[in-house]
Chain A
């Protein structure tokens, strides 16, 4: 059994343990029969959109001191005042400028660094040629996959058994083509192997909006899921702090856009109701499309690596 398989089974066992006390209601079959007769699903689907749109208007008019709870209780929002009107206009301006700036993303190589507890990920994206590259760095050491004389493979007993060492590059992936037709090259620096893959799957459903996608951002604005927190300094840069909420789960995304260019500088994702610490922090840099930066997108496996 591979290390992944063994870890997966451990995860499965713990998941079963964690949900062991969840039980279905006693008369579920009866409830299903009642529900079938009501056809509530269809009715609620048809009335959903206008309700969300109405809620969006109220969220957009909430004052700067509004909390998350207040945003979820439209009736608690303060009455519209001159100050609030000005704030809405300011929010609209920043949103508009941000969307406009993102529509010029093809003029740059977008560099993104994502911090993880055990390392970081670096991404370079060129929207003009629909290419990207990701390099992963970690302190985790790949378990010894080599067979021992007994024929057994040494595998970790669980996540607490993961070995750590110096920060090192673990793998790189380069992708070429639009989602649904992406050709990948992957290099594994720990196992000294590389492989290619053609992914024809349709684009995945994103639970957290892609903040670099102007259309996704516009959708969040249209649905009232975005608000302006205010001006803030990030490092040496003046920024506007925006906050938006994911559509599908309790995520809060904080986005800082440069006060001059309106391009994203930093993004954090926090689970609402969970730890106050972000589960993900990304820093952005907008690089010129020169030879040096375009070269970052090219991934060439080292000659002594084995193709899988």
Chain B
């Protein structure tokens, strides 16, 4: 158990931000989503402290759905910081990663519920039952969403994975 809210955030925030990014497909929204989830967790820290990560995960899942509904009705909730140069020092590796976000781009093209089951099942390593509980649906529904999501990812990733395989083979031959 974490001694304090700050210790929990210090230890787990990067992992939770990555989950939020995969759920939303957008870095800015992921940061905003995580902050909102943490604000709620902080408000209920006495209750959440026993399993704060599970609490945040539940809020992230709920908010990612609400956020997608609401984005059409209001402008983005965070504005760009005035010193965008400062971002590079915070996360210098992000631009490099953005160039090769093949799978996460494909993930972002999935409907929300399919994206959620892929992230929860295969990134968060939750069981079908745990995922079903988190999404408030049946295990059968999780399975069907998972099957559809993976089928679609196969479609979307086939060309890129094929190209990367050729590139890898070419590089290997040159070596």
Q: Which residues of A are interface residues toward B (Cβ below 8 A)? A: 4, 7-9, 11-12, 14-16, 18-26, 28-29, 31-33, 35-36, 40-41, 44-45, 47-49, 51-52, 116-118, 140, 158-160, 162, 197, 199, 201, 204-207, 223, 225, 247-249, 271, 274, 279
B23 to chain A, nearest CB (A): 11
A176 to chain B, nearest CB (A): 17
A44 to chain B, nearest CB (A): 5
Whether B72 contacts A247 by the Cβ 8 Å rule is yes
Given A23-B17, A48-B73, A223-B72, A8:B122 Cβ within 8 A: yes
Please name all residues of chain A whose beta carbon is closer than 8 Å to the beta carbon of B158 when the two chains form the complex: 117-118, 140, 159-160, 162
B138 to chain A, nearest CB (A): 9
Whether B91 contacts A22 by the Cβ 8 Å rule is yes
B43 to chain A, nearest CB (A): 7
Whether A32 contacts B39 by the Cβ 8 Å rule is yes
Complex CA distance for A225 and B71, rounded to whole angstroms? 13
Partner of A4, one of B68, B71, B93, B150: B150
Complex CA distance for A270 and B143, rounded to whole angstroms? 29
B residues contacting the other copy or chain, number (CB 8 A): 74
B35 CB within 8 Å of chain A? yes
Complex CA distance for A165 and B109, rounded to whole angstroms? 26
Please name all residues of chain B whose beta carbon is closer than 8 Å to the beta carbon of A199 when the two chains form the complex: 141
Please name all residues of chain B whose beta carbon is closer than 8 Å to the beta carbon of A247 when the two chains form the complex: 71-73
With A160-B164, A201-B137 known, 13 other A-B pairs at CB within 8 A are: A7-B150, A11-B122, A15-B123, A20-B18, A21-B97, A22-B91, A26-B90, A28-B34, A40-B77, A140-B158, A159-B162, A197-B144, A201-B141
Q: Can you list 10 A-B contacts (CB < 8 A)?
A: A8-B118, A12-B125, A15-B103, A15-B118, A22-B91, A29-B38, A117-B159, A118-B158, A248-B68, A248-B72
Please name all residues of chain A whose beta carbon is closer than 8 Å to the beta carbon of B9 when the two chains form the complex: 24, 28-29, 32
B75 CB within 8 Å of chain A? yes
- Looking across the interface, which residue of chain A has its beta carbon closest to that of B162? A160
Complex CA distance for A20 and B158, rounded to whole angstroms? 23
Given A24-B34, A29-B5, A279:B91 Cβ within 8 A: no
Whether A36 contacts B43 by the Cβ 8 Å rule is yes
B33 to chain A, nearest CB (A): 11
Partner of B13, one of A24, A49, A159, A274: A24
B111 to chain A, nearest CB (A): 6
- Looking across the interface, which residue of chain B has its beta carbon closest to that of A25? B90
Given A29-B9, A158-B161, A201-B141, A20:B97 Cβ within 8 A: yes
Whether A29 contacts B10 by the Cβ 8 Å rule is yes
Whether A21 contacts B103 by the Cβ 8 Å rule is no
Whether B36 contacts A18 by the Cβ 8 Å rule is no
B105 CB within 8 Å of chain A? yes
Please name all residues of chain B whose beta carbon is closer than 8 Å to the beta carbon of A207 when the two chains form the complex: 68, 111-112
A190 to chain B, nearest CB (A): 12
B139 CB within 8 Å of chain A? no
Please name all residues of chain A whose beta carbon is closer than 8 Å to the beta carbon of B153 when the two chains form the complex: 7, 11, 159
Complex CA distance for A47 and B69, rounded to whole angstroms? 16
- Looking across the interface, which residue of chain B has its beta carbon closest to that of A47? B74
Partner of A118, one of B35, B140, B155: B155
Please name all residues of chain B whose beta carbon is closer than 8 Å to the beta carbon of A16 when the two chains form the complex: 18, 123
Whether A15 contacts B43 by the Cβ 8 Å rule is no
Please name all residues of chain B whose beta carbon is closer than 8 Å to the beta carbon of A49 when the two chains form the complex: 73-74
